[in-house]
Amino acid sequence: MDKTIYFDNAATTFPKPEDVYIALNDSNRDFAVNAGRGSYKLAKEASAIIDITRVKISKLFNFSKEDHVIFSPSATIALNQIIGGLDFGGHKNVYVTPFEHNAVMRPLSHVNESKDINILEIPFDFQTLELNINQLKVDFSINYPDYVFLSHVSNVTGLILPISEIINLAKEYGAVVILDCCQSAGLIPIDLKNIAADFFVFAGHKTLYGPFGIGGFIYNSNIELKKYITGGTGSDSLNLDMPNSYPAKYEAASPNITAIAGLNAALNWINKTDIENIKLKEQKLTKYLIEGLKTIKGIKLYLPGDLQQHTSIVSCNFPNYSPDEIGMILDEDFNIAVRTGFHCAPKIHNLLGTRVLGGTVRFSVGYFNEIEHIEYLIKRLREI
């Protein structure tokens, strides 16, 4: 097949909706100026797009404070900004799930080099991937949680975590909760009125179907983040402190207006297509993929015990081949793009026992995949 069949949507969705490409082109040509830094028409037009996009993110999450939607160049930078802004003075108990991305684990490891923090793992069953809520209750009672980091969806197994159970328990101890929605925003309905997390992190280029260069977080907390990134904001320029108003106090540097325009178009597409339709199509494709993979002799699939709590990510291993070998053959011989290795998620491979295997082969479908793509993949895997 001449055209690449793409199954790496967990890394970034590809292709994007056509409206996103049009918005990127038009914004670059028509108003790619420094928003918030000038009183001329183009700068005002750029600022208006940012404000509109903020409102659309708020509506997507059912959140009422548009000015508490903080844009950053990526979810990784947003997480660094949150972690760098938290108070780690004194002994702090920091809980993470075994599904956390290195965008969480590496900043926490960096903090741990200079601060007295206790990084603890929330217990999950290695076979069913189910939360051990009884053990977690014991753990929280012994080591009270100060900060809790949760991936909404695992980027390796596709598990939808039982976030409400964990958050509600954590809040009994007054813990601050940071929820990573990079694999769920735009795919799973998220209602902030019913989720008591303090920070919700999103990536524009993943399940929101936007471009690279734009991510951020929703500030849903009464706690004050310390200054971590400072610089120009285009306002109050004689003041050497960051402005004290939202969102400016957390948005130093020139905004990426073209990426925000692309995200705005992606949000329009999500609203037009409807999250439920996106979810249903991806569920159908994922079910077809799993059924096809199960026909391959000797395959090891790493799936949740409850497939109702599963999205469009499937990890597996094949007999007699390393993950990298499978990925190389699929790419070089059949023009199929998949992800292999550890997927920037170090802890999950201890839980699954895949560290010694070189990680997993990960197939992640997106809205623009079709049944025939999966049929082609399964056929080629059978040949291998």
| Separation CA 89–CA 106 (nearest Å) | 19
- C-alpha distances (whole Å) from 280 to each of 180, 203, 265, 283 are 22, 21, 21, 5
* Apex 161 CA angle, 212 and 324, nearest 5: 55
Average pLDDT, the chain: 95
* Token output for 81: 């900004």
List, for residues 334-355, the tens digit of each pLDDT value: 999 999 999 999 999 999 999 9
Q: Which pLDDT belongs to residue 1?
A: 63
Q: Which pLDDT belongs to residue 350?
A: 93
3-state secondary structure at position 278: helix
List, for residues 253-296, the tens digit of each pLDDT value: 999 999 999 999 999 999 999 999 999 999 999 999 999 999 99
Element (H, E) at 286: helix 275-293
Of 227-241, 287-301, 313-327, minimum mean pLDDT range: 227-241
| Separation CA 199–CA 219 (nearest Å) | 5
pLDDT category of residue 100 using cuts at 50, 70 and 90:
very high
The amino acid sitting at 10 is: A
The amino acid sitting at 204 is: G
DSSP 108-163: HHHHHTTS-EEEEEPPB-TTT--B-HHHHHHHHHHS--SEEEEESB-TTT-BB--H
Structural domains of the chain sorted by starting position, each given as residue range(s) with its CATH number in brackets: 5-17+274-383 (3.90.1150.10), 18-272 (3.40.640.10)
**In which residue are the tokens 């996106």 written?**
278
Exposure letters 83-102 (e unless 16+ CB within 10 A, then b): bbbbebeeebbbbbbbbbbb
| Separation CA 369–CA 281 (nearest Å) | 9
With beta carbons less than 8 A apart as the criterion, state whether 80 and 108 touch: no
Of 37-51, 66-80, 109-123, minimum mean pLDDT range: 37-51
